[in-house]
Amino acid sequence: MKRNNHKDPAQTEFVGIIWQRFGHPSRLCAGDALLECLKQLGFHAHQLSASIHMPRIGCGLAGGKWEKVEPLIRETLPGTQIFVYDLTR
């Protein structure tokens, strides 16, 4: 996470999360790894009073299903303002 020393409310923070579990040739998205990433993201978002903006993570090449990923996001990040974007191919 890149962080600046000043407290500008317009300041943008960016967090890149990567979760992969090797040994699962049929899928790249491992639920327990995603859960840990979301917990860390939630911690930092809370510390910064930040909202979260993301695409439908884990549902493209990773092979996950949004019906399973969305509830995990909602359960892991309660009280956090989340914006999910549908990206066109």
Residue 55, pLDDT score: 87
As for how many domains the chain has, the answer is 1
Give the per-residue pLDDT at 59.
Answer: 78
Give the chain's length.
89
Average pLDDT over residues 8-32: 59
> Which CATH number do you get for residue 22?
3.40.220.10
Nearest residue to 46 (alpha-carbon basis) of 67, 15, 68:
15
- pLDDT tens column, 41-57: 899 888 888 888 888 88
pLDDT at 84 over 50: yes
pLDDT at 27 over 60: no
Averaged pLDDT, 9-34: 61
* For residues 56-70, average pLDDT: 81
Structural domain harbouring 74: 1-89
The band of 12, judged by pLDDT with boundaries at 50, 70 and 90, is: low
What is the Cα–Cα distance from 52 to 45, expressed in whole angstroms? 7
